[in-house]
Structure 1
Amino acid sequence: MSASVSAKHPRGLYVLFFAEMWERFSYYGMRAILLLFLIDNINGGMGLDAVEGAAVYGLYTASVYLLTLPGGWMADNILGQKKAIWYGGIIIMLGHIILAIPAGSGIFFLGLVTVALGTGLLKPNISSIVGELYPEGGARRDAAFSIFYMGINLGSVLGITIVGYLGQKVNWHMGFGAAAIGMLLGLVVFKFGSAKYLSGYGEVPAKKVITAESEAKSGADRKKGYLLAAALVVFLAVLQLTGTIDMSTAQGLAQGAGVIIVTVSLFYFLFILFAGGLTAIEKKRVLVLIVFFIAAALFWSGFEQAGSSLQIFAERHTQRTIGTWEMPSSWFQNFNGAFILLFAPVMASLWIYLSTRGLNPSTPVKFALGLLLLGGGFFIMELAASQAVTGQLVSPMFLTLTYLFHTIGELCLSPVGLSSYTKLAPKRYLSQLMGIWFVAASLGNLIAGLFAGNFDENNVDQMPALFNQVALFSVGFGLLLLIFYKPVKNWMGGIK
């Protein structure tokens, strides 16, 4: 990032940058070893089979992002964003400390639940404050989110390297403990930096002035909300009674959770549209957010296989030996973070450069590019899997190129999506809709975990077809979004 560009950004951005960096150190570091720990039956892991382990992994990563919805609500209505970040960070740190205790599966799952609860409180609200720093929106806000994204991925690289090495080469629980230390450092940065550079941002929400008219309208909106909630409960009960949701196994629970996430998201969007008191323009913008939600969920369902199916492919089918040294398979996940650090400043500068010349692609086009690049990466993995089915270990260049494609796709979609949600969301629903953005990641993570469960060691011939399926879905939706980008852009109501 050139000095001329970075000088334009407030110092509060860099406080959030480093706080998020350490939080992501703890999250991605722990995630890098989670599935390996779950399926390890030799070095003190839990010894689950691949199907059950991948389902547990998917449930955890999905829960982390699903809980951002209530976390956003608490910030919007009770705590304010800064307090939500602080308390969320403390809960995350406690969760990692619990994971560091080698005391059986019950304590381990308690730690996972605790980390998920804390992340749900922290994650949407730190992104909301980044958006608050740039009330004017535009390419400068997009560039700020690209810089912020560098913090996420610097934390990812450090976490995967340190936690991954300690977990795989020394002791699983020592790796989990290192994640706790990372979160502690994030809390220190946020505590002292926010007091000086984030004054006036993310404060406790002001009490609303209640009039007879607003009270009557609020009562009518509440009735609509109750009806939607009742319909949701009935729908979920029908799914359970008909056997659509089977809670008897981790895989069945994960499949049921996918249905629940889709249903909750649908009902929440319906509530916002029909009982949220929105203007006609705001309703069109929420419709755009729905389109972006679907695109993001599909993107993350492929991208988040970095910790599931691609992790298994790296462990079982990729050449990792250099001389007598064998690289930990979890380190392959570092390619994404390293490429982010290389290309995020380039992409941030590119959006500003194109904007000054009136050539900046619209947000729907950027989303489409992200999906097309994701599909390209999985076509590469299809080629790799075609070699792996012969029984040979394949070149690490296949995974390297896949991560390169996925990273450029991520930079087209994720920081731009974060920025778009802060711009398009009605102010009174900002953190909640930021939560919905992360719910898309929740759904994608869950699908990624379930997909990894299909990797049957006794039937490796199915790998190329599995990767081809993901590639076709990604490219298909990307092309669809390119075809209809103009009406989606028009619904944004002039917001860029």
Structure 2
Amino acid sequence: MEKIQNRKHSIETFYYSLTRMLERASYYGFRALVVLYMTGETLKMDRTEALSIYGWFAGSMVFSQIIGGLFGDLLIGNKKAIIFGGIIQAIGAFSLCIPSTTGLYLGLFLVVLGSGFFTPNILSNFGKSYLNKTKLLDSGFTIFYLAINLGSFLGISLIGYSGEKFAYNIGFVISGILMLLSIVPIIISKEFNSEEFEKGETSISKRILNILIVFIVVGVFWGIYEISNIRIFDLQMQFSEISAWNISKSLWQTIGSIFTLPISLVAIILWTFFYSSQFFKLMVGFIFGAISFGVLFVIPEIPTENHTITYLISLVFLGISEIHIAPIILSISTKYANPKYLAILMSLAFLPTRLISLIFGLFNHKLYDNPMLGLKIGIVGMTVVGIGLIGYAWWNKKTTYNKELS
């Protein structure tokens, strides 16, 4: 572990993290309401139809982000793409206040389009703010990831509650206002020029290999996370019924994010002062992921109250796993990509996740009937990738050492 000399995060870190937090609050709050709105008294849709529309809405995000990345990198610039996306997304949230299917489809389309422009370009510009101090990339993206988790918790709590307690229109209006507020820090932030950054010494072939590994890792991790979540959700529902702890059902569903907060803070502080290999962090993440699923696996299919602590311990391990993987994937992509095309790369990074999710989705009926199967797949998948990363880290270190000797 190497001590970092330049430990200062820039003001852009605060601006971009605040923007992402507000945007995620708007998006997740909107998402928490939209199915309820479709099946409510206004539109009176069948639940199956509403979930089908929601599935198309979520799936189309991948393709809109590719369009947004292309526009940001090649045509209008990343900063303008973020601002444009934020405004369009806000208009989309406001459009759902129109009490008709026309308002619904218009709103969903604009949210998808706006998010497509917003997400890859803000990831790109945030990463670029660290390209002259790449050893802080891991810490920086962990701050960014913490902002995402805070935003999602805030959005679901504030907008979800407001929409259900008062009216769905109130929730959608709050979502739109938060979205407009999110672009204010971007407007006053610095624009980044790709020509200003230090040129890395890593060969092109090594850069491509590292990025390909990241693409595989991101798809496998979120794919495994999704199928294992079936068992986690099942346990959440059961513990909310049998636990003597005074915890609401909604809090049981977000309890994992509560552990993510302190773990993120520890990682941010540690990685701001000390640097270790990014692939080593990924390896640690997958090992802890395997341990987490292993702990979950020992909980019987029908748990008792005595298994509550075991379940919470597994969530702590899963939180450690997530923090060692999710922000680090973005950090590696930023470090080894060409800054001119970083938004495009960030948008393409969502494709493996979507592809693997579709593959796993073919077996959803089996996984829902047998949630323990998802855990078995998770344990094997996490262990195999973890071992592979150990091998790659060892090979990487050996080739670097041989290069220094020659």
With normalisation by structure 2, the TM-score equals 0.80
Cα deviations across residues 95-151 of structure 1 (Å, max 9, x unaligned)?
2223444424x6434433322221111111112112222232432222122222222
Residue 128 (structure 1) aligns with:
124
Residue 16 (structure 2) aligns with:
16
2:64–2:117 contact (8 Å) kept in structure 1:
yes
Deviation of 1:85 after TM superposition, in Å, equals: 0.3
For 2:238, the aligned partner's letter is: H
Decide which of 283, 288, 291 is 1:368's aligned counterpart: 283
1:64–1:442 contact (8 Å) kept in structure 2:
no
For 2:126, the aligned partner's letter is: V
Cα deviations across residues 366-399 of structure 1 (Å, max 9, x unaligned)?
22222233333333444456116xxx89966566
Deviation of 1:490 after TM superposition, in Å, equals: 7.5
Amino-acid identity (%): 29
Cα deviations across residues 260-304 of structure 1 (Å, max 9, x unaligned)?
xxxxxxxxxxxxxxxxxxx99223311221111111111112335
Deviation of 1:36 after TM superposition, in Å, equals: 6.7
Residue 341 (structure 1) aligns with:
261
Residue 285 (structure 1) aligns with:
207
1:373–1:406 contact (8 Å) kept in structure 2:
yes
1:61 is paired with a residue whose SS is helix
Residue 80 (structure 1) aligns with:
77
| Mapped partners of 1:490, 1:421: distance in 2 | 22
Specify whether residues 138 and 440 from structure 1 end up closer, same or farther in structure 2 by C-alpha distance, changes over 3 A only. same
Specify whether residues 54 and 188 from structure 1 end up closer, same or farther in structure 2 by C-alpha distance, changes over 3 A only. same
1:67 is paired with a residue whose SS is helix
Decide which of 470, 474, 480 is 2:378's aligned counterpart: 470
| Mapped partners of 2:373, 2:382: distance in 1 | 14
1:480 is the counterpart of 2:397: no
Residue 29 (structure 2) aligns with:
29
Residue 336 (structure 2) aligns with:
424
Residue 270 (structure 2) aligns with:
350
Specify whether residues 323 and 373 from structure 1 end up closer, same or farther in structure 2 by C-alpha distance, changes over 3 A only. closer
Matched ranges for 1:428-447 at <5 A: 428-443=340-355
Deviation of 1:26 after TM superposition, in Å, equals: 1.6
1:384–1:394 contact (8 Å) kept in structure 2:
no
1:368–1:479 contact (8 Å) kept in structure 2:
yes
Moved more, 400-409 or 120-129: 400-409
| Mapped partners of 2:260, 2:291: distance in 1 | 18
2:349 is paired with a residue whose SS is helix
Deviation of 1:168 after TM superposition, in Å, equals: 5.1
| Mapped partners of 1:31, 1:282: distance in 2 | 40
For 2:203, the aligned partner's letter is: I
Cα deviations across residues 348-374 of structure 1 (Å, max 9, x unaligned)?
22234443xxxx2x2222222222333
2:236–2:253 contact (8 Å) kept in structure 1:
no
| Mapped partners of 2:332, 2:211: distance in 1 | 8
With normalisation by structure 1, the TM-score equals 0.67
For 1:201, the aligned partner's letter is: F
RMSD between aligned residues: 4.0
Gaps of 5+ in 1: 206-278
Cα deviations across residues 308-351 of structure 1 (Å, max 9, x unaligned)?
7368536743415889988343x445334433332222112223
| Mapped partners of 1:311, 1:47: distance in 2 | 27
The number of residue pairs the alignment matches comes to 395
1:14 is paired with a residue whose SS is helix
For 2:230, the aligned partner's letter is: S
Residue 223 (structure 2) aligns with:
301
For 1:165, the aligned partner's letter is: Y
Specify whether residues 483 and 323 from structure 1 end up closer, same or farther in structure 2 by C-alpha distance, changes over 3 A only. closer
